[in-house]
Structure formats: C-alpha cells, structure tokens
C-alpha cells in the first residue's frame, strides 16, 4: 500500500519568515495530493491540493510543488503569521473514493 513520510515533525519559524514542509510517497499511481491544517481540538481543513498533472499550485501565501519523478511534494508558506501555527498533514490518494494516506504531521509554531 501507499506510504507517506513527512518532514520535519516540528517546525518553529519567526513571524514573516517562510515555512517548508516536505512529503514523499511510495505509490507512483497516487495522483492527488492534498494538504490539511488542523488546529487544536478541530478536524483537518483542506488548505491546498495538487493533482499529478500539475507541477505547482499557489494560493496567496501558500504554494505546493510536486515532483512526480522523485515522488515528493512540498508545502510552502510565505510571510508566516501567528495564525499559521497548527499541525499540517500531507496526504496522497490514487482515485476518488479511495482512502487517503496521511503523513505523520508537522507541528508549526510561528513566533511573533
């Protein structure tokens, strides 16, 4: 089955700096890669996603890149703000209706 690894497990950045989280996946058939933000005591919220036919996607301060050959994808958060502090999960999936495989999560702390 699919295996997704996520690094780092914790990340502390100064407000205004950039944060980068990296994930690798094992199944080359995976073709959809969402990123979720989970705040304490809440369910995960989708913040950005990318499909395998796209190399990069950006939404304001958030961007995701995908390297299919190397089977890794990354989340980039620029101009970090204290409200970006949360746990971020990457995930991979092969087809709609199938189960998501999650990475282990990254706890991001943005220091004011």
By CB under 8 A, residue 99 contacts another protein? yes
Residue 96 binds another protein, judged by CB under 8 A: yes
The reply on whether position 100 binds another protein by CB under 8 A is: yes
36 touches another protein (CB under 8 A): yes
Could you tell me which residues come within 8 angstroms of residue 41 by beta carbon, excluding any fewer than 6 positions away? none
Closest CA to 90 of 43, 50, 57, 39: 50
In this structure, the chain runs to a length of: 112
Among 32, 65, 76, 78, binds another protein (CB under 8 A): 32
Instruction: Provide the minimum distance between the beta carbon of 14 and another protein in the complex, in angstroms, as a whole number.
Output: 23
The alpha carbon dihedral of 82, 87, 91, 96 has a sign of negative
C-beta of 18 vs 28, nearer to another protein: 28
CA 44 to chain centre: 12
Question: How far from chain centre, in Å, is Cα 21?
Answer: 6
CB 68, min distance to another protein, A: 17
Please give the residue ranges that form the binding site for another protein (CB under 8 A). 32, 34, 36, 41-46, 49, 51, 89, 93, 96-97, 99-100, 102-105, 107
């Amino acid at each position: 089955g699919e295996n997704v690894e996520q690094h780092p497990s914790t990340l502390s950045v100064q407000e205004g700096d950039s944060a980068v989280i990296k994930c690798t996946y094992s199944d080359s058939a995976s073709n959809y890669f969402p990123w979720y933000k989970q705040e304490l005591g809440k369910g995960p919220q989708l913040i950005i996603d990318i499909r395998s036919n796209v190399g990069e996607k950006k939404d304001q301060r958030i961007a995701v890149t995908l390297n299919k050959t190397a089977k890794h994808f990354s989340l980039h958060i620029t101009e970090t703000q204290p409200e970006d502090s949360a746990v971020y999960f990457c995930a991979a999936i092969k087809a709609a209706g199938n189960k998501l495989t999650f990475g282990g999560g990254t706890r991001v702390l943005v220091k004011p």
